[in-house]
């Protein structure tokens, strides 16, 4: 007997159509949810830009050099927009950048799982004469696991030396992280420091490229009076290609025992109509092997985020240089 009648076939076709329709609807819903989530992330970035500029008593157009609204789009796609803006910043003769963020660090033992939360503030400065500094501040409320510390690295181009200072004296004042250092600066040869860290202050931490960008997850051109005023871009990168130097910096900052395994590099950028960065946000995940107080050697799973705000790109840098006149050899 032939059970596969026209009626059964029609029911089968209807069922397949329903499944396909539901699958398509779910895909659309997921896409909309992702776009809404990313939109909220950019709204938060814009709010942080406004708060940063207010606190610094700066106008954002002074940060980037222009607020002119451009007639047409400068870029064909999100990858081009991101790469242009990023390298315009990092290859500039001078800049002053302040980033703030947080990280959630998870350590699993046989008996329990420990979650350590830290806040961070980094100040990156490149002076017009080639000098550069990098201050890295980490703050753990209560300092239970000894994660509160700061490092200040200063590259003096004329002397061709790297100066370093460290401190555990970090305070949180009105939401801002402030580190207080002694006058006991140490210096070392550039090649020794490069071998240890992989870069100098003022160098590029990330090897972003078209090849390294695996996906443009969001791209939006914001218009004012039918003219491009702003670009919003979010990308994901291949850590093997884009994170070689970044991995060495993580190892140095975190006092890690070996290079970390980077699981995710997601980067968002807000770019003005002239292709100049207004803000960057990094959302990364990585595993680090390090010594934890009371626990010993452990693998720490880290989720970190940081938003970079730009005091200036190009031109004069008003921030003072550290006094390293009494520095001694490391």
The answer to whether the beta carbons of residues 101 and 305 sit under 8 Å apart is: yes
Given a contact cutoff of 8 angstroms between Cβ atoms, the answer to whether 149 and 174 are in contact is no
How many C-alpha atoms does 32 have within 13 Å on its Cβ side?
Answer: 6
pLDDT (average), residues 112-132: 95
190-236 per-position pLDDT tens digit: 999 999 888 999 999 999 999 999 999 999 998 888 889 999 999 99
The C-alpha atoms of residue 73 and residue 304 are separated, in whole angstroms, by: 32
Joined tokens for residue 213: 């960008």
> What is residue 255's DSSP assignment?
T
Q: What is the mean pLDDT of residues 143-169?
A: 95
Residues 95 and 253: beta-carbon distance below 8 Å: no
**How many whole angstroms separate alpha carbon 118 and alpha carbon 104?**
7
For the residues of 91-154, what is the DSSP string, one character each?
TSS-EEEEEEEEEEEEEE-SS-EEEEEEEEEEEEEE-TTS-EEEEEEEE-GGGTTS--EEEEEE
Q: Cβ distance 237 to 243 under 8 Å? A: yes
Q: Which three-class secondary structure string do you get for 159-220?
A: CCEEEEEEECCEEEECCEEEECCCCCCEEEEHHHHHHHHCCCCCCCCCCCCCCCEEEEEEEE
Full-model pTM: 0.81
Tally of residues, the chain: 330
Provide the sign of the torsion angle of the four alpha carbons 39, 45, 64, 201, taken in this order. Answer: negative
CA dist 28 → 35, 41, 140, 278 (Å): 10, 20, 41, 31
Residue 288 has pLDDT above 50, yes or no: yes
Q: Are the CB atoms for 78 and 216 separated by under 8 Å?
A: yes
Average pLDDT, whole number, for the chain?
86
- The rounded distance, in Å, linking the Cα atoms of 31 and 37 is 10
Is pLDDT at 27 greater than 70 in this prediction?
no
Radius of gyration of the chain (CA): 24
Residue 304: both structure tokens together: 């970190």
**Range of weakest confidence among 9-13, 293-297, 313-317:** 9-13
Instruction: Indicate whether 138 pLDDT > 90.
Output: yes
Burial class (CB in 10 A: 0-12, 13-18, 19+), 214: middle
Q: Give the DSSP letter string of 58-92.
A: --HHHHHS--PPBSS-S-SSHHHHHHHHHHHHHTS
Closest CA to 220 of 20, 8, 36: 36
pLDDT of amino acid 30: 56
Which pLDDT band, with edges at 50, 70 and 90, does 61 fall under?
Answer: very low
Of 201, 199, 209, the residue nearest 240 (C-alpha):
209
Q: State the DSSP code for 274.
A: T
Checking if the pLDDT of 146 tops 60, the result is: yes
Closest alpha carbon to 245 in 219, 265, 267: 265
Query: Would you give the distance in Å from CA 59 to the centre of its chain?
Result: 23
Instruction: Between 18 and 131, name the one with better pLDDT.
Output: 131
The 10s digit of each residue's pLDDT in 234-254 is 999 999 999 999 999 999 888
Q: How far apart are CA 278 and CA 137, in angstroms?
A: 22
Mean pLDDT, rounded, for 281-285: 96
pLDDT of residue 62: 44
30-59: per-residue pLDDT in tens?
A: 556 677 777 777 677 666 666 666 555 544
Say if residue 266's pLDDT is above 80.
yes
Domains of the chain, CATH where assigned:
67-329 (2.50.20)
């Amino acid at each position: 007997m032939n059970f596969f009648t026209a009626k059964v076939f029609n029911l089968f076709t209807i069922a397949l159509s329903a499944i396909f329709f539901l699958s398509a609807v779910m895909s659309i819903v997921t896409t909309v949810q992702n776009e809404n989530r990313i939109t909220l992330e950019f709204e938060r970035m814009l709010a942080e830009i406004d708060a940063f500029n207010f606190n610094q008593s700066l106008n954002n157009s002074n940060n980037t050099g222009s607020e002119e609204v451009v007639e047409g789009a400068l870029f064909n796609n999100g990858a081009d927009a991101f790469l242009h803006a990023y390298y315009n910043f990092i290859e500039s003769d001078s800049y002053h950048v302040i980033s703030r963020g947080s990280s959630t660090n998870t350590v699993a033992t046989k008996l329990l799982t420990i979650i350590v939360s830290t806040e961070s503030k980094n100040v990156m400065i490149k002076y017009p004469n080639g000098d550069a500094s990098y201050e890295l501040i980490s703050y753990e409320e209560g300092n239970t696991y000894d994660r509160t510390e700061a490092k200040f690295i200063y590259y003096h181009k004329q002397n061709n030396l790297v100066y370093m200072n460290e401190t555990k004296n970090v305070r949180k004042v009105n939401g801002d992280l402030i580190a207080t250092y002694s006058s006991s600066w140490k210096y070392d040869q550039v090649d020794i420091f490069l071998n240890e860290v992989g870069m100098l202050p003022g160098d590029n931490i990330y090897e972003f490229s078209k090849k390294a960008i695996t996906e443009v997850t969001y791209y939006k051109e914001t218009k004012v009076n039918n003219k491009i005023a702003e670009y919003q871009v979010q990308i994901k990168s291949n850590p093997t290609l884009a994170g070689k130097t970044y991995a060495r910096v993580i190892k140095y900052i975190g006092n890690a025992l070996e290079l970390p395994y980077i699981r995710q590099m997601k980067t968002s950028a807000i770019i003005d109509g002239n292709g100049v960065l207004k803000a960057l946000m990094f959302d990364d995940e990585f595993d680090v092997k390090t010594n934890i107080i009371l626990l010993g050697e452990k693998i720490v799973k880290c989720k970190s985020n940081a938003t970079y705000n730009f005091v200036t790109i190009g031109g004069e840098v008003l921030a003072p240089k550290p006094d390293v006149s009494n520095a001694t050899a490391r």
